[in-house]
Amino acid sequence: DHLNITLFGKVQGVFLRRTIKHQAHRLGIHGFVRNEADSTVYIEAEGDTNALEQFSIWLKQGAGEGDYDIVDVLIEDGNVKNFEEFEIQE
């Protein structure tokens, strides 16, 4: 399965991408996370249905502890791209 995820709120410059990468590794999810010009954070995530569901719930609950403030999460189905790892894109 593949999800395209956009995070809105205070989500840039607060180490959120690193936290997301750690959680993706923990769940066996591949893909990437990057900051966008419109101050959102964009994620493409691939993995099994259960792992992606856990990842989505974790994001919607605010992604654990941190100085960031996720106020909205947009999740859309996407096409599988067969990522081999999860990385932070610049």
Q: Catalytic positions, please? A: 17, 35
φ, ψ for residue 73, nearest 5 deg: -130, 120
- Cα–Cα distance between 6 and 41 in angstroms, integer? 6
Given its phi and psi angles, is residue 37 left (phi above 0), alpha (psi -120 to 50 degrees) or beta? Answer: alpha
Is there a contact between 72 and 35 (Cβ–Cβ < 8 Å)? Answer: no
Q: Which residue type is seen at 78?
A: G
